[in-house]
A and B are shown apart, each in its own frame.
Chain A
C-alpha cells in the first residue's frame, strides 16, 4: 500500500488544541521563583527636555525593590538599527533603553520601578516625580521636513533620517512623462497602522550570579537575532552568556521582530536587583510605544497611453519613521517598497524618491507585508486611475500591462531581484470568472441608470509580492546588517521518532503542522512521530526567525535539505543491512527497497535503530541519523494573484457594505491548504481593515488619539465578509519544493482591492480618490461635494 502523501492535505493544526484550550505557555504565563515586576514610567509629552527626576517618594512605597532612570543606564549603548538604506543618506538616531536628557515621543520610557507585584510597581510609578520643559512637536512626515519645523535630532537637519532613490534618473522619467498621451497626478496617503497582535509584548530577564549567564524570555519573532543585538551591540556581554527563549507567541505581524528597550532593560535590572524581573506591557502601552506600520505620504505622477498602457511612473514618498529608527526601519520604505512599485506590470520608466522622516510619534517598522502593501496600494490605485482617465476597464488595464509568463525571470529595472515565476493573467481570469465580473458591471450600470441610492462598486487588485526574504548576498547589498539564510537540524532518534529544530519561529503560522507534513513525507515516518522545536538559542543553530513569509521557503527548504541528507545516509545503511549494493537500493513507497525485489526492504525506523545502536555500520559511517543545513536561497519568491471585492455604498450615509470578496492567490505549491486559507483569511481581514477602519491618529502635540481599542478600529467578525477563495499553482523554480510563501499575500492584496471598490462605486460621480481609512464621512464628503 502506498502511504498517502501528507503534503497537500488540509490537516488540522497540531498546535491548536494546546493553544485554544489555554494550555499554551505565553510570556505572561511564566512565573519564576523570586520574580519581581517592572513598571515603566513614560513621557506624557511628545517632545521635552527632562529637567529633573526625583525617585525618593516612589522608593519609599511598599514592595518597591528599586527605581532606576536613564542616568543609571547611561553606560548602556542605544539600541542598534540593523538595516540602513543602502546607497542613500542615513542620519541614524536610535532609542536609548531609558531616555537620557530628552524625550521625543509620548510613551518614551523615562524611569522604571521594580517591585514585588505589578500593582505595587504601578502605584509607586505614579510617585516618580519628573519635571519636563516642553519642546515643539511635529507628527506629520511632510511638515517635519519644512523649514522652521521642530527639530528632533541634531544630526538630522529638517528631520530627514533617510534619503534614497531607485529606478531611472528623475529627468529621464520626467521626459517619459512629458511624452505620454495621458498624464495623471495624485496625492496618496497610506495611513499609519497599529499592528495589534492578540498578545502584547514583554520580556523576563534572569541573571545567574554563579555562572554569569543571562536568560531572556521574550515575545520575539527572532530570538537568535535578539541575542546577537543585545549582547554585541547593547549590553556588551559575550554572545554565549545570553540565552534567549521565545515561548508561545500570540501573534506578531512584524511588531515582534524588533529589538525593544525592555529586552536589555530586564537583563540589566535582574543583575542590578539580583532577582528575575518581568516586564509585560498592557494594550495601551503597546499602542503607544511598540512599532507601528505604513505611514506614507506620496505624490505620484503617471504617464499612460490612450489604450491604458502605463508608460512612466514617478513616485515621491515621505515615510514617517517615528521618533527614532527601529531595528530594520529604513529598509522597509526603500528596498521593500521602492523596489516593488512596478507591481505585476511592465513599466518602462520608473523613478522613486523616498524621504524617511523623524517625527514625535511611535517608531514605524515592518508590519505584515512591510513595504509591499504600500507599493501595491500605490500601483493598484494607479491602474484604476489610468482606467478612469482612459475609459479602459480596470481589468483590461491590468491585463494590458502584465508581465507575461515567458518573461520570467523578470527584472523590473528598479533594483529588485528578478521575479521568479508567474502567470498573472491566469489568476486575473479566474478571479473575473469566479466573481462573474461582467454580470457585476451590468448590475452596476443598471443601478446607475435607475439612480439607485445603493451604489455598487467593484474593486480589483492584482498583486505580486516578494517573500522568503533572502538571499544574504542581495540583502547585504541592500544594507541589511547580517545574513538571511535559515537553519534546520533534523534527527531521527533510536525509537524512530523525529525531532526537527528550526531557526524560524511560529507565532500563529502553524510550523508544527506544516513542517511535520513535509518531514513525514520525506522520511516515511508518521505525522504524530514528528516534533518541531524552535525558539530557544540554547544548543540550537543560529536562525534568523520568522518574518517576510520566509519560514517555509527558506526555513522549510533547510529542513527539506536535511531530510535529503538523512535519507541518503540511511539508504547506504539500509543497503548494508540488506546486504545489497547501494546502487540497487531505492527509496520507494516510504521504504528502502532493493530494486526489483520489494519484499527485501527496511523502514526508516529500522535503519534509525541500527544507526543508533551502531553495532554494525558500514566502514567509516558515523552513528545516528542527523543532519543540519544552513540554507541560503538563490532568490526570493514572488507570490501573486488577483482579488476582487464588491461593495455597496449607502448614498445617504456613506456607509459601506462588503457584499463579496473573491480571492485567487498563487503561492506556488501548497503544503497545507487549510493553513494557507487561514493565512489568506486573516491577511484579507487585516488589509481591508486598513482600507475601511484602522488608522492611528496623533494630535499636533504628539498625543495618540487612538490609544485604545475603543478608538482604534480593529474589525470584528461581524464587520467582515465571507471569503470566496481559490488558487492557481505556479511553482517557484527557486526552491526544491516549489513553494512561495503565503503569510502576507492577503494583506498586500486586500487594501487596494477594497479601496478601489469603494472609489469605483463613486466613480460615476467624478470621485477619483479617497484617502484611507475610507470612513462613511469621507464617502459622504466626496459625494455631497458633487
Chain B
C-alpha cells in the first residue's frame, strides 16, 4: 500500500484552498480521506498534491435555525452525536450512525461524501430526499447548488476542479424522514438504500414527498413513480403498498457478483415500504 509521490498543502482559509487548486489542476481536495487515501494507496488515484481542508475551522459546525446548516468538514461522528440534530432532524444522526464503522465516522465528512459522490453512499440519497443544497466557493465566488444537481453521475459532481464545497443546507418543513439500508457484508456500503421524507398537512395527507435510492444506481436517484403513488393521500397500508410496488420503476439498476440488478430492484420495493411504514 504505497502511493505515488504527492505534495501536501494545508490551507487556513477557503480562499487559500481555491488558490492552491487554481495553481495546480492535478491537485485534489482531501477532507476525511476515507475514500481518496485508499484509492491512492492502491494507485487508482495519483493526485499531484493534496489540499487538506482540515485546517479550515469555518468549515465545521452544525446550526439549526429553521433550516439546518452543516459545515462541509463536519464529521459523521459530530452529526451522529449532535443533540441539536437529534431534535431537529433525527434521521441525520441515525444515518451517520450507520455509515461505515466508528473509524470512518470519526474521520469521514459530510462534504467529502457529497463531493466524492460514491454511488453507494448513504448521505447522498438522504440529502436528495430532504431537498438539500450545498454552497460552493470558487474563483468567481460562492454559488448554491441543489444536491440533486450536484450529483451528476458515478463519482462525478457539478463542482469545478477549483471549487470547494463549504456548506450543506437542509430546508425546514420536513415532517418525517427515514432511511432504510441494506449493508454490503464486506464494505458496509449500501447494496440498496432508500431515503424517504414527507411533508404532511391536515388529516395526515402527504403534501409533498421525496424518495431517493442509493446503492443500485450510478448516483442517488429519485423514485418519482413511488412519490406520485401517495402524494395527496394519507400514508396508509394501501398507499404504501402502491408506492413500493412501483419504487423501482424507471430506475437503471446495476448488479454485481454479490447482488444482481433483479434482486436490488426487489429490495428497492421492500425497503421503500419499510421506510414509509416508519413515517406513517
* CB of A280, distance to nearest CB on chain B (Å): 11
A284-B42, A652-B270, A775-B258 known; A123+B185 contact, CB < 8 A:
no
Q: Is the interface of B mostly helix, strand, loop or mixed?
A: loop
- Judge if A89 is at the interface, Cβ distance under 8 Å: no
Chain B residues near A653 (CB-CB < 8 A)? 182, 267, 270
In contact, B2 and A713 (Cβ under 8 angstroms): no
Chain A residues near B260 (CB-CB < 8 A)? 777
Chain B residues near A776 (CB-CB < 8 A)? 182, 259, 263
- Judge if B23 is at the interface, Cβ distance under 8 Å: no
In contact, B263 and A780 (Cβ under 8 angstroms): yes
- Judge if A714 is at the interface, Cβ distance under 8 Å: yes
Chain B residues near A600 (CB-CB < 8 A)? none
For A, the interface residue count at a CB cutoff of 8 angstroms equals 32
A652-B270, A775-B258 known; A716+B101 contact, CB < 8 A:
yes
In contact, B259 and A777 (Cβ under 8 angstroms): yes
A123-B4, A284-B42 known; A719+B259 contact, CB < 8 A:
no
A775-B258, A780-B263 known; A710+B185 contact, CB < 8 A:
no
In contact, B257 and A780 (Cβ under 8 angstroms): no
Chain B residues near A132 (CB-CB < 8 A)? none
Q: Is the interface of A mostly helix, strand, loop or mixed?
A: loop
In contact, A713 and B267 (Cβ under 8 angstroms): no
* CB of B82, distance to nearest CB on chain A (Å): 23
In contact, A712 and B186 (Cβ under 8 angstroms): yes
- Judge if B65 is at the interface, Cβ distance under 8 Å: no
In contact, A697 and B257 (Cβ under 8 angstroms): yes
Residue of B nearest to A778 (CB): B263
Chain A residues near B9 (CB-CB < 8 A)? none
In contact, A713 and B186 (Cβ under 8 angstroms): yes
In contact, A777 and B2 (Cβ under 8 angstroms): no
* CB of B190, distance to nearest CB on chain A (Å): 13
Chain A residues near B266 (CB-CB < 8 A)? 780, 784
* CB of B75, distance to nearest CB on chain A (Å): 21
* CB of B118, distance to nearest CB on chain A (Å): 11
Chain A residues near B270 (CB-CB < 8 A)? 652-653
Chain A residues near B101 (CB-CB < 8 A)? 716
Residue of B nearest to A126 (CB): B43
In contact, B187 and A711 (Cβ under 8 angstroms): yes
- Judge if A493 is at the interface, Cβ distance under 8 Å: no
In the complex, A580 Cα to B1 Cα: how many Å? 68
In the complex, A706 Cα to B43 Cα: how many Å? 18
A710-B186, A711-B186, A716-B101 known; A119+B5 contact, CB < 8 A:
yes
Chain B residues near A26 (CB-CB < 8 A)? none
Chain A residues near B1 (CB-CB < 8 A)? 282-283
In contact, A709 and B263 (Cβ under 8 angstroms): no
- Judge if A510 is at the interface, Cβ distance under 8 Å: no
Chain A residues near B267 (CB-CB < 8 A)? 653
Residue of A nearest to B267 (CB): A653
In contact, A709 and B5 (Cβ under 8 angstroms): no
Chain A residues near B258 (CB-CB < 8 A)? 711, 775, 777
In contact, B257 and A705 (Cβ under 8 angstroms): yes
Chain A residues near B185 (CB-CB < 8 A)? 692-693, 713, 715, 719, 775
* CB of A785, distance to nearest CB on chain B (Å): 12
Name A680-715 residues within 8 Å CB distance of B. Answer: 692-693, 697, 705-706, 708-715
In the complex, A126 Cα to B42 Cα: how many Å? 13
- Judge if A96 is at the interface, Cβ distance under 8 Å: no
In contact, A118 and B2 (Cβ under 8 angstroms): yes
- Judge if A591 is at the interface, Cβ distance under 8 Å: no
In the complex, A652 Cα to B269 Cα: how many Å? 10
Chain B residues near A710 (CB-CB < 8 A)? 186-187
* CB of B266, distance to nearest CB on chain A (Å): 7
Chain B residues near A692 (CB-CB < 8 A)? 185
Chain B residues near A706 (CB-CB < 8 A)? 257
Chain A residues near B263 (CB-CB < 8 A)? 776-777, 780-781
* CB of A661, distance to nearest CB on chain B (Å): 18
In the complex, A119 Cα to B2 Cα: how many Å? 6
* CB of A36, distance to nearest CB on chain B (Å): 15
* CB of B270, distance to nearest CB on chain A (Å): 5
In the complex, A119 Cα to B230 Cα: how many Å? 57
In the complex, A716 Cα to B186 Cα: how many Å? 9
- Judge if A122 is at the interface, Cβ distance under 8 Å: yes
Name A76-123 residues within 8 Å CB distance of B. Answer: 118-119, 122-123
In the complex, A620 Cα to B152 Cα: how many Å? 91
Chain B residues near A705 (CB-CB < 8 A)? 257
Name A118-170 residues within 8 Å CB distance of B. Answer: 118-119, 122-123, 126
Name B249-280 residues within 8 Å CB distance of A. Answer: 257-260, 263, 266-267, 270
Chain B residues near A697 (CB-CB < 8 A)? 257
Residue of A nearest to B270 (CB): A652
Name B3-56 residues within 8 Å CB distance of A. Answer: 4-5, 42-43
A693-B185, A780-B266 known; A123+B42 contact, CB < 8 A:
no
Residue of B nearest to A119 (CB): B2
Chain B residues near A780 (CB-CB < 8 A)? 263, 266
In the complex, A710 Cα to B258 Cα: how many Å? 12
In the complex, A705 Cα to B42 Cα: how many Å? 15
Chain A residues near B257 (CB-CB < 8 A)? 697, 705-706
Chain A residues near B184 (CB-CB < 8 A)? 713
In contact, A123 and B5 (Cβ under 8 angstroms): yes
In the complex, A652 Cα to B258 Cα: how many Å? 18
Chain B residues near A777 (CB-CB < 8 A)? 258-260, 263
* CB of B49, distance to nearest CB on chain A (Å): 16
* CB of A718, distance to nearest CB on chain B (Å): 9
In the complex, A531 Cα to B221 Cα: how many Å? 63
Name A621-664 residues within 8 Å CB distance of B. Answer: 652-653, 655
In the complex, A521 Cα to B95 Cα: how many Å? 55
Residue of A nearest to B259 (CB): A777
In the complex, A692 Cα to B185 Cα: how many Å? 9
B186, B266, B267 pick with most chain A CB within 10 angstroms:
B186
Chain B residues near A284 (CB-CB < 8 A)? 42
In the complex, A780 Cα to B266 Cα: how many Å? 9
Chain B residues near A775 (CB-CB < 8 A)? 185, 258-259
Chain B residues near A652 (CB-CB < 8 A)? 270
Chain B residues near A123 (CB-CB < 8 A)? 4-5
In contact, B5 and A714 (Cβ under 8 angstroms): no
In the complex, A118 Cα to B186 Cα: how many Å? 28
* CB of B91, distance to nearest CB on chain A (Å): 21
Chain A residues near B186 (CB-CB < 8 A)? 693, 709-714
* CB of A284, distance to nearest CB on chain B (Å): 7
Chain A residues near B187 (CB-CB < 8 A)? 710-711
* CB of A700, distance to nearest CB on chain B (Å): 12
In the complex, A111 Cα to B258 Cα: how many Å? 34
The 9 closest A-B pairs by CB, nearest first: A713-B186, A713-B185, A777-B263, A710-B187, A122-B2, A282-B1, A697-B257, A652-B270, A693-B185
Question: What are 16 of the A-B contact pairs (CB < 8 Å)?
Answer: A118-B2, A119-B5, A122-B2, A123-B4, A284-B42, A692-B185, A693-B185, A705-B257, A710-B186, A711-B186, A713-B186, A714-B186, A715-B185, A776-B182, A777-B258, A784-B266
Given A123-B4, A123-B5, A776-B259, 19 further pairs, Cβ under 8 A: A119-B2, A122-B2, A126-B43, A653-B182, A653-B270, A693-B186, A705-B257, A710-B186, A710-B187, A711-B187, A714-B186, A715-B185, A716-B101, A775-B259, A776-B182, A777-B259, A777-B260, A780-B263, A784-B266
